[in-house]
Amino acid sequence: MRHVEMFFDPQAHMARGVPIADVIGGLSDAIDEHAGEVSAALILCFLRDQPVADAEATLRAAEPHLDRIVGVGLDSAEVGHPPSKFTAVFDRARELGLKPVAHAGEEGPAGYVREALDELGVLRVDHGIRAIEDDDLVARLRRDRTPLTVCPLSNVRLGCVPGIGLHPLPEMLAAELNVSVHSDDPAYFGGYADTNYAAARDGLGLSTEELRTLAENSFRSSFLDEAARTAFTREVRAWESGQPG
């Protein structure tokens, strides 16, 4: 692990009386403590199954701490909570200089991916596995090189796919989508990034070249600066080739 862009849900903590300053402060302390080992950034997520007004209040509460936050996201129960509900709060987040991402097309339909792009202006789609059901959407995602951050073990745990061997990741790779592998709430969904890579390799028979592509895509899709992305992708290529970086 070289770089982490960590989602966190302040609403879940604030509802239990934990101030947002403590939430962000605790995560920031951990990032600073391990800065010599791994780089990290924070993405503040809104709970889509909570009222939009709560998301707006959360963003306002976070404004004094924006120096520690790189972006905003949208997560939690997807079905029945389309991205378009949160257009106004995402507009405000962009005004504040935050990079927008959103969970879409995991439990929800491919249309939610399109909404996330068109209504929220997301730079990256989290999950997005159901996009493969829509040929026009696939063509758009391929053309624009839109990042799709896939979490195979989460998809299986939530019943979005019946088993790892039936996951659409190989089809997404074959369609030349900008897809990469990640973890999703590792303690709950059964594994960190390495476990997800192993599950994809063993359950889907992915080749070393395909694993290398996934890893390179993850760095190219990150919010790191160009120099850092280049250095990390060079490291991935060196690992694949067995040559020193």
Q: Is the dihedral of CA 211, 212, 216, 219 positive or negative?
A: positive
Instruction: Report helix, strand or coil for 48.
Output: coil
CB 67 within 8 A of CB 92: no
Q: How far apart are CA 245 and CA 237, in angstroms?
A: 8
CB 127 within 8 A of CB 182: no
CB 88 within 8 A of CB 51: no
Q: Could you give the residue numbers annotated as active site? A: 106
Burial of residue 225 (number of CB atoms within 10 Å: 0-12, 13-18, 19+) = exposed
